[in-house]
Amino acid sequence: MTVKVAHDYNCGWCWIGILQIERLQAEFGVEFELIPYELYPLEMEWPDAPPRPEPPANRPPTLSRFQLACYASGMAPPVQKGPPKLRTHNCHLATEFAKQEGVHLEYARRLYDAYWVEGTDISQVEELCRLAKGLVSDIAGLRESVNQEVFADRITEFNTPAYESGVYNVPTFFIGGQRYAEQPYAVLAAALQRELG
């Protein structure tokens, strides 16, 4: 059984998702395939987020939804991440090349960790090649593949094309004809358990 997972590298929930995939593989022995979805395609304007209002001085701090999800998944939220407004087109092109060599999940984990833990700009072709070393056998082929956009037709862009495919949030796990978006591990594990019988 292969579970497809719609994802994008600039999504913190997908960083959690890659760790969920590793746990689910270990627990259930199923295969996973990452499907590239681009939250901010190159031609889409990326608006600035409005500033958050200052909380009252006497209000105790609370975790954000993302921080809560990280802790619930058994991991600390990242203290740094790569550049804001990261365009992930090249990342997806490189991952699709790694998929041809059967190492796309391992490569994706490297990219997620580089961005979310190390603060690396993973949109740069040379950085993608550096992160592929020791994993992808044909680094020159990866570089050329990204520069030539060989796998561009595999990337689904937000908003309209993604919505038409049934993906409104990433990560979205496709399990047994159902879609599970931004779900905790227990929900995904229960869905796989039902599907596997």
CATH value at residue 88: 3.40.30.10
In a domain, 56, yes or no: no
In a domain, 54, yes or no: no
In a domain, 51, yes or no: no
What's the domain range around 69?
2-44+62-196
- How does pLDDT run across 128-180, given as a tens digit for each residue? 999 999 999 999 999 999 999 999 999 999 999 999 999 999 999 999 999 99
Rounded Cα–Cα distance for residues 94 and 92 (Å): 5
Mention every residue, 6+ apart, whose C-beta is less than 8 A from residue 81: 12, 115, 116, 119
In a domain, 17, yes or no: yes
Would the pLDDT of 79 be above 90? no
In a domain, 57, yes or no: no
In a domain, 50, yes or no: no
Please give the pLDDT value at position 86: 95
Please give the pLDDT value at position 47: 87
In a domain, 9, yes or no: yes
Would the pLDDT of 18 be above 90? yes
- Per-residue tokens: 52: 């958050």
Please give the pLDDT value at position 81: 84
Which among 140, 143, 25, 40 is positioned nearest to 86, based on CA atoms? 40
H-only helix segments in the chain: 12-28, 65-72, 89-100, 104-116, 125-132, 139-147, 160-164, 185-196
175 phi and psi, to 5 degrees? Answer: -130, 120
In a domain, 188, yes or no: yes
Would the pLDDT of 95 be above 90? yes
Cα–Cα distances (Å) from 61 to 47, 54, 75, in that order, read 27, 11, 19
Count of domains in the chain? Answer: 1
Cα–Cα distances (Å) from 149 to 82, 89, 146, in that order, read 23, 9, 5
